[in-house]
Amino acid sequence: MQTFKLRSGEEIPAIGFGTWKLADGSEAVRSVQHALESGYRLIDTAAHYGNEASIGKAVNKAEFGRSEVWVTTKLWSDDLGYDSALEACDASLERLGLDYVDVYLIHWPANQRRRDAWKALVELKKTGKARHIGVSNFTPQHLEELKTVSEVVPEVNQIELHPFIYQEQKDIVEYCREHQIMVQSYSPLGSGELLDNKILEQIAASYNKTPAQVLIRWALHHETIPLPRSSNPQRIAENIDVFDFQLYEEDMRRLDTVNKTHRTVTDPHVIP
């Protein structure tokens, strides 16, 4: 598995498995088990997804040691604030059946209580309940604001990212690169809705790869960590089988400037 370096120098898996919309229960446990068997070593969940118990079950059942897999979860907006964030993290750990998470993120900048929540995350890192801390859906404006709260800079910012939204999210990607904040890309396949885009299909055919594999490769070339979701064992394996080809510069440029906009969730730029 390829890795990227966090600001601290620690290596993090270059691809993760997304679990948004995987309903808690046997399907989620099975999907995460398939992902681990296929080679994924980073599993991304959130309190709000309602499936932490299943994700924890699959991770705890794995044959390899806990330290070999990264588990990310996120603080939901209702729990922003200092005490509520500390309590929410404990509740997530309880549901996951884990002593610590590898990455704990503020899920959305939602409201001003994000400031106290960030102080709580700094504390969670100190106590070891979260090995790494960061945010999700934060724009440069939200990230600048955090500088007034603590000198601790997020290690990760998880955002919606794929070619069909790249131009709108580019400011975030560039800010994060300048500040050594690792970008994780959720919905790297554009939620699977634009895989039949003609330019994408053409490029994929020229490499003898699938459109999904090209999108994942695109995210890696931008040095972001894609978090593709799937509940289908073949597609789970297909989405990590991307280390035997490179995209040419010209194809990267074509994908960067593909003339189509598609956003799966709220634009964080509108959150004050």
Name the residues annotated as catalytic.
49
d(CA 261, CA 256): 11
**Looking at 45, 72, 187, 197, which residue binds ligand A2P (CB under 6 A)?**
187
- Residue placing its CB nearer to ligand A2P in the complex, 129 or 157: 157
- Residue placing its CB nearer to ligand A2P in the complex, 81 or 190: 190
**Looking at 230, 240, 242, 247, which residue binds ligand A2P (CB under 6 A)?**
230
- Residue placing its CB nearer to ligand A2P in the complex, 150 or 231: 231
Output the DSSP codes for the chain: --EEE-TTS-EEES--EE-TT--TTHHHHHHHHHHHHHT--EEE--GGGT-HHHHHHHHHH-SS-GGGSEEEEEE-GGG-SHHHHHHHHHHHHHHHT-S-EEEEEE----STTHHHHHHHHHHHHHHTSEEEEEEES--HHHHHHHTTT-SPPPSEEEEE-STTTHHHHHHHHHHHHHTTPEEEEESTTGGGTSTT-HHHHHHHHHHT--HHHHHHHHHHHTT-EE--B-S-HHHHHHTT--TT----HHHHHHHHT-S----SS--GGG--
239 lies in the binding site for ligand A2P (CB under 6 A) = yes
- Residue placing its CB nearer to ligand A2P in the complex, 79 or 238: 238
159 lies in the binding site for ligand A2P (CB under 6 A) = no
231 lies in the binding site for ligand A2P (CB under 6 A) = yes
- Residue placing its CB nearer to ligand A2P in the complex, 64 or 243: 243
List beta partners, residue 72. 44, 103
Q: Which residue's beta carbon is nearest to the bound ligand A2P?
A: 192
Question: Which of positions 189-228 make contact with ligand A2P (CB under 6 A)?
Answer: 189-192, 195, 210, 212, 228
**Looking at 13, 81, 109, 188, which residue binds ligand A2P (CB under 6 A)?**
188
Which residues touch 184 (CB under 8 Å, ≥6 apart)?
Answer: 16, 44, 72, 156, 157, 158, 159, 224, 225, 226, 227
User: By rule CB under 6 A, what string of x and - marks binding of each residue 3-42 to ligand A2P?
Assistant: ---------------x------------------------
- Which window, 52-60, 76-84, 115-123, 184-192, contacts ligand A2P (CB under 6 A)? 184-192
d(CA 121, CA 241): 34
Interface with ligand A2P (CB under 6 A), residue total: 18
**Looking at 48, 113, 235, 254, which residue binds ligand A2P (CB under 6 A)?**
235
- Residue placing its CB nearer to ligand A2P in the complex, 157 or 191: 191
**Looking at 209, 220, 229, 268, which residue binds ligand A2P (CB under 6 A)?**
229
Q: Which residues bind ligand A2P (CB under 6 A)?
A: 18, 187-192, 195, 210, 212, 228-232, 235, 238-239
